[in-house]
Amino acid sequence: MDILRFITAGSVDDGKSTLIGRLLYDSKNILIDQLEQLEKQTKNKEAGPIDLALLTDGLRAEREQGITIDVAYRYFSTPKRKFIIADAPGHVQYTRNMITGASNASLIIVLVDARQGVVEQTRRHSIIASLLKIPHVVVAINKMDLVDFSEEVYKNIVADYASVAAQLGLNDITYVPISALQGDNIVDASTKMEWYTGKPLLQLLEEVSIDEDINLTDPRFQVQFVIRPQTEDLHDYRGYAGKVISGVYRKGDAVTILPAGIETRISKLEIAGEEVSEIFAPQSATILLADDIDISRGDSIVNTNNLPTTLNELDVLLCWMDDKPLQSGNKYYIQHNSQLQRAIVKEIAYRIDVNTLEHQSVEGQVKLNEVVKAKIKTSSQLVFDSYEKLRANGSAILIDETSNSTVAAVLFI
């Protein structure tokens, strides 16, 4: 049993909340007191005794103001998998919310309303999925009950989406016709769409292979915290605690400390204080080295035969997430995993229209929800990989120095 983290993307009326509610309900992850609560709240009884969309209903602050606060996380499990859904609302600020939710997702469910087909929003969600390199895409064509479960409608939408996906370079796309409201092709195969020979949605989610999404070939490790017990029996103990970002490390490996460039060997590997012979992504581990070297938080320990890029001036994509706009020349903190340093946004090359992928020139400021290509300069060397090559070591955040807010997602090019 493992964990699949996925995000659901849909426009306001695509039935996203109903779909999530349906997944929770049909996988028997809803309990009696929660159901009673739903029954009490369900006002529109036409669709059935309970409105599944209410399961993802938000806070009172949201109901009062008719807004939705970025991302909520939902949990359910089946005997095969534990699932974590990043549920991002579908309207204003969608780019920011979706990027936040997508940053940890291995899979995206793109919801398409069978009556509407592939619309501008579908395209936008898919563009973000491709920018964020979400490895698996499931296109759920919803509301099939409203088009008489028509195979022809389904086939036309599949053909339309396939051409969008080809333009965007999206891989591993699976299509499934569903009715979230009536439960068709959610847990069990629908009896109303026997022309569909694929798996129902939940089975797709249970069976998608995600092992190869974790990079086990390029060893990357950043020091989070130096463990120095300084007790009598552990007097000289100096362990570099961190997460294996990718790859595998073995005792005896020749490693290089970056950005300093010092070479040494791994003398011991530990997990939770117990010695192990190897560590691999995404374990949290502790590395002990053969030589006494001055290493601190944010330094990278990498295999000497497989080095990442080390630069202090680099091209990035910035997804702007703050109400306060970005101005070229502004200084920020950049946090790349555990490494924090200063950065200046030097020049902004162009804006990427998230509806068309078009490059547009930028005059003046970059506003909330805009994605731009920019050049940044950091105060010291940044040790990274391109996002394209290694998602887990190819991303960072920008932090406003004065408000301390997280203002941008950074993807290294």
Partner 1 sequence: MSNHHLNYLEQLEAESIHIFREIAAQFERPALLFSGGKDSITLVHLARKAFAPGKIPFPLVHIDTGHNFQEALDYRDAMAASIDADLIVRKVEDTIKAKSLTEAKGKFPSRNWLQTYTLLDTIEEFKFDACIGGARRDEEKARAKERIFSVRDDFGQWNPKLQRPELWNTYNGRINKGENVRVFPISNWTELDIWNYIKHENIPLPSIYFSHERELIVHEGQLVALSDFVLRESTDVIVTKRIRYRTVGDMTCTAAVESNAVTLDEVISEITAAKISERGETRIDDRVTEAAMEDRKKNGYF
CB neighbours of 292 closer than 8 A, spacing ≥ 6?
Answer: 238
Between CA 291 and CA 288 the distance in angstroms is 9
Nearer to partner 1, 71 or 111 (CB): 71
Nearer to partner 1, 84 or 189 (CB): 84
Under rule CB under 8 A, residue 43 binds partner 1: no
**Hey, which residues between 54 and 83 contact partner 1 (CB under 8 A)?**
57-62, 67, 69-75, 77, 81-82
Under rule CB under 8 A, residue 213 binds partner 1: no
User: What's the min distance (Å) between Cβ of 56 and partner 1?
Assistant: 9
Under rule CB under 8 A, residue 222 binds partner 1: no
Q: How far is CA 71 from the centre of its chain?
A: 12
Under rule CB under 8 A, residue 259 binds partner 1: no
Q: Which of 95, 100, 121, 190 binds partner 1 (CB under 8 A)?
A: 100
- Strands annotated E in 114-180: 136-142, 173-177
Residue with tokens 């909340």: 17
Three-state secondary structure string covering 58-74: CCHHHHHHCCCCCCEEE
CB neighbours of 37 closer than 8 A, spacing ≥ 6?
Answer: none
Instruction: Report the SS3 class of residue 110.
Output: strand
Under rule CB under 8 A, residue 306 binds partner 1: no
Under rule CB under 8 A, residue 273 binds partner 1: yes
Tally the residues of the chain. 413
Q: Which of 146, 158, 189, 241 binds partner 1 (CB under 8 A)?
A: 241
136-142 and 173-177 beta bridge pairing: parallel
The DSSP output letter for 79 is S
395-399 and 331-336 beta bridge pairing: antiparallel
Between CA 278 and CA 398 the distance in angstroms is 33
Cβ 377 vs Cβ 346: under 8 Å? yes
User: What's the min distance (Å) between Cβ of 287 and partner 1?
Assistant: 13
Q: Which of 162, 248, 293, 357 binds partner 1 (CB under 8 A)?
A: 248
Piece of 199-207, 308-316, 371-379, 398-406 that binds partner 1 (CB under 8 A): 398-406
> What percent of the chain is helix, strand and coil (3-state, nearest 5)?
20, 35, 40
Under rule CB under 8 A, residue 282 binds partner 1: yes
What φ, ψ does residue 127 adopt, rounded to 5°? -65, -45
Q: Which of 95, 246, 264, 395 binds partner 1 (CB under 8 A)?
A: 395
Under rule CB under 8 A, residue 215 binds partner 1: no
CB neighbours of 60 closer than 8 A, spacing ≥ 6?
Answer: none
Q: Which helix (H) or strand (E) holds 269?
A: strand 262-271
Three-state secondary structure string covering 171-209: CCEEEEECECCCCECCCCCCCCCCCCCCCCHHHHHHHCC
Piece of 156-164, 167-175, 232-240, 253-261 that binds partner 1 (CB under 8 A): 232-240
User: What's the min distance (Å) between Cβ of 52 and partner 1?
Assistant: 15
Nearer to partner 1, 76 or 175 (CB): 76
Under rule CB under 8 A, residue 225 binds partner 1: yes
User: What's the min distance (Å) between Cβ of 288 and partner 1?
Assistant: 11
User: What's the min distance (Å) between Cβ of 207 and partner 1?
Assistant: 16
Under rule CB under 8 A, residue 220 binds partner 1: no
**Hey, which residues between 322 and 351 contact partner 1 (CB under 8 A)?**
333, 335-338
Under rule CB under 8 A, residue 269 binds partner 1: no
Nearer to partner 1, 191 or 217 (CB): 217
Between CA 344 and CA 328 the distance in angstroms is 8
What is the total count of residues that contact partner 1 (CB under 8 A)?
70
Closest CA to 176 of 188, 167, 163: 188
Which residues here bind partner 1, judged by CB under 8 A?
Answer: 1-3, 31-34, 37, 57-62, 67, 69-75, 77, 81-82, 84, 96, 99-100, 103-104, 211, 216, 224-225, 227-229, 234, 237, 239, 241-243, 248, 270, 272-274, 280-284, 297, 321, 333, 335-338, 392, 395-397, 399, 404-406, 409
